Chains A and B, each alone.
Chain A
């Protein structure tokens, strides 16, 4: 996927089960083709900041959405969020946090760090659509012409 041009969604998820369910949900919305999946926070930062394995990427072509898991190996979700929201080149990219529960502490902290929306796992179509709608990206993302 790295070579297939513009990535629309970056999915940061370490849990295989969750990843598969999320991808299925996105596939149902015809979005699966433009998805980049990374498995931990360190890899996510390489993608977001166009370095390491993703050195070929350009800041001018940011993803339209990042789906970021809260609990990640190496670098946690909140740390990734903090770094990208603190950088002028990346802070405008919308981020939806994927969490296991609506633990108040996580919610408050994530909103403080500038998260755009929140989706409680498992990511089914409805909750995903609601989050995207909240971001005003509904038509942009969901009304993709299906790839044939």
Chain B
């Protein structure tokens, strides 16, 4: 093979390789999203890739041969000569961020890199320009700035003391509340070390920070801080790490809240509760003591008041029994009155005690058979009914929920009154029954006796209040007071309806659950 041929062959091979490289290069240029443009030193566009079409809107045939100037907004017209001057000097322009005009007239933000183009002899013949559309990047940067600003405002104006630190415990963000709580004034502490701002900070806290910088979350709902002025502040705090985009711990966030006032209020409430309980205990003890005293008093009245009364009654009785025949008629009558007076006083004492017992006795509620209760009451009143003509009508008597012993007393007292005040009638008619009114059983005892004037009805249930004098009808005026007390202690009501000469009716409810 001749040398020439050989050279020819080499040249062929080289040109083949150059051709291949050129094809590869143009494929890369064509497929790039960035605009890749070349121009001569006069600023006339000489090549225009697909990316350039996308970024600026001009097709290849529309752009080639036209001046680069067409992409530059009028206010930036002086940029191009300067760029061309730099290119002519062989310099590069790297990542120059500017604005260009699209074919449709809309501005587009671009980052431009321009390099000189040389011929094979090294002479600068033009420039290649790579322009990247950075509109999206700019938008993202805007969003990011906005987010950052939101976060800063959020932290700064948060009503809690919050501070964010980097790994070196330098302040990144701090809330105004933090500045207030720690008396830091208006100074700017962002960028300063926490330990410079608080040189006296104890090691214990530094340890907490270190542990949290390693990933721990620590908190305390109530911790005492002794302030420099000697006052104790109560703080609720929490320290937790924050992480960077790559997941590594970027620093910590300290949250703290002054709960001194809240704690003081809560402690006060607790203290008041304790005091209240104490007071309840004391009052209960006082009441119990008072109750005991009252019981002792009643007991004493019951026994001691009766002793002299017994002597009065007893000896009057004995004189009447033994010496009646020796006494003048008048004397006997007086003795009789002494004995009757004593007897009445005895009755008053008995009734008063019975009344006080009603108050002391506890109410033991149970299901009570009202029919049996009324039967028992009537049996108990047999002596009072003796020799009388009484028609007793017993109607519907549903069971109720109450204390049987106390309720029997109610029936006895009401029936006893009915029998007593109807003794002028022949026959006396007593009606016992109940009505179901408004989901409630209303029990009643009616008689056809003397009745009473309704204008005094409010006095009926008062102790020792009587609407008849003792000559007409005997009694102490305690019976209805006992009835009312028992009914009230059951949560019920009692009332009366009457007319002088036309009988009386007494009604009562038991309250609580009526079983009907």
Contact = CB atoms under 8 A, between A and B. Distances in A.
Interface of A: 15, 17-18, 21, 24, 70-71, 99-101, 103-105, 121-122, 124
Interface string B347-373: 001100100010000000000000000
A17 B310 contact: yes
A17 B303 contact: no
Q: How large is the interface on B (under 10, 10 to 19, 20 to 34, 35 or more residues)?
A: 10 to 19
Interface in B308-357: 308, 310-311, 313-315, 317-318, 349-350, 353, 357
A21 B302 contact: no
B310 A21 contact: yes
Contacts of B299: 103, 105
A121 B307 CA distance: 9
A122 B314 contact: yes
Given A17-B315, A21-B318, A122-B314, A101 B307 contact: no
B152 interface: no
Nearest to A18: B310
A24 B318 contact: yes
Given A17-B314, A100-B306, A101-B306, 20 more contacts: A15-B307, A17-B310, A18-B307, A18-B310, A18-B311, A21-B315, A24-B318, A70-B303, A71-B303, A99-B303, A100-B307, A100-B310, A101-B353, A103-B299, A105-B299, A121-B306, A121-B310, A122-B313, A122-B314, A122-B317
15 contacts: A17-B311, A17-B314, A17-B315, A18-B311, A21-B315, A24-B318, A100-B310, A101-B302, A101-B303, A101-B306, A101-B349, A101-B350, A101-B353, A103-B353, A124-B317
Nearest to B307: A15
Nearest to A71: B303
B326 to A, nearest CB: 18
A19 to B, nearest CB: 11
Nearest to B310: A122
A13 B266 CA distance: 65
B357 A17 contact: no
A17 B302 contact: no
A28 to B, nearest CB: 10
Contacts of A100: 302-304, 306-307, 310
Contacts of A124: 317
Name the residue in B310, B349, B353 with the highest tally of chain A Cβ atoms < 10 Å from its Cβ.
B310
Interface in B276-323: 299, 302-304, 306-308, 310-311, 313-315, 317-318
Contact of A103 (B302, B307, B313): B302
A21 B306 CA distance: 14
Nearest to A14: B307
A124 B349 CA distance: 20
B55 to A, nearest CB: 110
Given A103-B299, A122-B314, A17 B307 contact: yes
A121 B302 CA distance: 12
Given A21-B318, A24-B318, A104 B302 contact: no
A124 B314 CA distance: 9
B339 to A, nearest CB: 12
Contacts of B357: 104
Contacts of B313: 122
Contacts of B350: 101
A84 to B, nearest CB: 22
Contacts of B303: 70-71, 99-101, 103
A112 B311 CA distance: 30
B482 to A, nearest CB: 15
A18 B308 CA distance: 9
B46 to A, nearest CB: 126
A71 B301 CA distance: 13
Nearest to A21: B314
A100 B311 CA distance: 12
Nearest to B350: A101
B299 to A, nearest CB: 7
Contacts of A15: 307
Contacts of A101: 302-303, 306, 349-350, 353
A104 B353 CA distance: 11
B35 to A, nearest CB: 112
B305 to A, nearest CB: 9
Nearest to B302: A101
A70 B304 CA distance: 12
A24 B314 CA distance: 11
Nearest to A17: B311
B344 to A, nearest CB: 16
A122 B353 CA distance: 19
A101 B349 CA distance: 10
A71 B349 CA distance: 18
